[in-house]
Amino acid sequence: RHVADFQLSIASIIESSSSDCLAQDLHLQAQQLAGRLKCDSVVSAISAGPGTVNFTINRELLAKTVLQQVWKDGSEYGVKSELFSTVPRQKAVIEFSSPNIAKKFHIGHLRSTIVGNFIANLKVALGHEVVRINYLGDWGMQFGLLGVGFQSFGNKEKLKSSPLQHLFEVYVQINKAAEDEDTKKLAKDFFRKLEEHDEQTLSIWKQFRDLSIEEYIRIYKRLGVHFDEYSGESFYQEKAQEVLKMLEDKGLLQKTIKGTGIVDLSEKKDLSTVSTVMRSDGTSLYITRQFLIISFRDLAAAIDRMNKHSWDTMIYVTDKSQSNHFQHLFQILKLMGYDWAERCQHVSFGLVQGMKTRRGEVIFLEDVLNEVRSRMLQNMTSTKTTKEIQDPVETAEKVGLAALIIQDFRGLLSSDYQFSWDRALQSRGDTGVFLQYTHARLHSLEQMHGNAELTDVNVACLQEPDAISVLQHLLRYDEVLYRSSQDLQPKHIVSYLLTLSHLAAVAHKTLPVKGSAPDVAQARLCLFHAARSVLANGMKLLGITPVTQM
């Protein structure tokens, strides 16, 4: 069945209101208009449909234009489109991942990591400058407990070899004793010394932080993620005091009867919406973002980043339970006179239920990566073609990660979803495994028949409907990138790539390269090369490394 490339609705261009116009009138007008329009070198056919005029683009021109463009722009295909010509190049600061040292790296941190990485990749691809910040939970009373715990249960060798796991174990152990008055007092003393910059205490804390970051860097590398800056709450002790003074000087800080510090955010200044910023004992609140408590550190961090990076936009990537926190944070910054608060954005995401490893609950990011790798390896080993792969473990990890990312990115980010290993790792259907499989298949096709050369392609050989479907889809890639760049949702790119893979799979069946006449084989090879190139570009934006063997 022939599908037109463009369609014009008659109702949208005639003067009278649509209620006056009967369907048969519209159809008649469509036929009359179609009869008066002439084809040219671009438009090869014009026909009337029910109330529409349909245009078909010259098939050879379509094939030639798309293939040349993909070939010429390579990894920048779609990004160089005129859709982006009026978009100013900007500097963006993106805060994402942000786990707490010595605590669980839960599934929310994983989502923040892959979503933040996608947004950063997309912005960089579109020519923006990006600063990726990991804002660690590296300060607070828990370090008093951790310090005391390490003195009792710590092991220096274990701290060096697996810091994240060891600090977590120590923290769990000391927490059992945390109700004990002596322990409480020791923890308070330890943290007080930290705040007073006692050298010995600080060096213990610094070791916890440095070794944790070293291990995080190694694990993030497996995910294909990097950061330009490892910041943290510890950076903003002194600056938080300056923010407190600014709030007082501007008359924004009010005290309740109990002595708690609040900022009035209500329209009528009647305290109907307040944000608590200070405990009654005068201490700055540590971040407990769930409870609408804005710590001076968050304010200080935002101001500091503006001074340091003078960004055009700052994006925080966290789960949606923190939406109110960020709304209040931006409002207070605006009350303090920082108009750039309007250029701050919170990209929120929903909750994931049911992600467990074979050993139980997810505690460390590495648990998830190891689990996905071993499950994928098992699936690959049970299929008969896997034996020839050079590095099956590496491949299993890349394919498994693609599965995780696609399952996470298929819907709206703000929606909650139920995680399923079986569904994520299926080789058929709309999964990351299917994308990887398609990429590997197209790659081996090129390996088998030598690389395609665009110079001598006879585009008249690409007139079959299945070839045209692939070409039409490739033509739309820039629109999809544009949509994702507007709302920062990866789902547009995901559904585009899944459709591309399905269309390429059909074309692979119906348009064989092997056994075809040389110019037909060459043209088809070129088509499959273009499909693989765009598929790889899109996968990389999502944070997936395309595999060449599977």
Q: Which residues are catalytic?
A: 103, 106, 109
For residue 404, the SS3 value is helix
DSSP string covering 157-187: HHHHH-HHHHHHHHHHHHHHTTTSHHHHHHH
Report the DSSP beta bridge partners of residue 465. Answer: none
- Distance, CA of 270 to CA of 71 (rounded, Å): 63
Tell me the torsion sign for CA atoms 316, 322, 323, 325: negative
Report the alpha-carbon distance of residue 81 to residue 537 in Å, rounded: 15
252-277: string of b/e by CB count within 10 Å (b at 16+)?
bbeeeeeebbbbbbeeeeeeebbbbb
401 CB-near residues (< 8 Å, 6+ apart): 223, 224, 369, 372, 432, 543, 544, 545
Cβ contacts of residue 313 below 8 Å, gap of 6+? Answer: 90, 91, 92, 93, 343, 344, 345
How far apart CA 454 and CA 539 sit, in angstroms, is 24
Question: CA 145, 146, 147, 151 torsion: positive or negative?
Answer: positive
138, 209 in Cβ contact below 8 A? Answer: yes
How crowded is residue 467: how many other Cβ atoms within 10 Å of its Cβ?
23
Axis-axis angle for helices 465-475, 59-73 (nearest 10): 50
- Taking the C-alpha atoms of residue 368 and residue 109, their distance in angstroms, rounded to an integer, is 12
- HSE at residue 52, side-chain half, CA atoms within 13 A, is 10
Q: Are 514 and 458 in contact (CB under 8 A)?
A: no
> What gap in Å lies between CA 36 and CA 82, rounded to an integer?
31
Rounded Cα gap, residues 417 and 427, in angstroms? 20
For residues 384-398, b (16+ Cβ closer than 10 Å) or e, as one string?
eebeebeebeebbbb
Torsion (CA) 335, 337, 340, 346 in degrees, nearest 10: -20
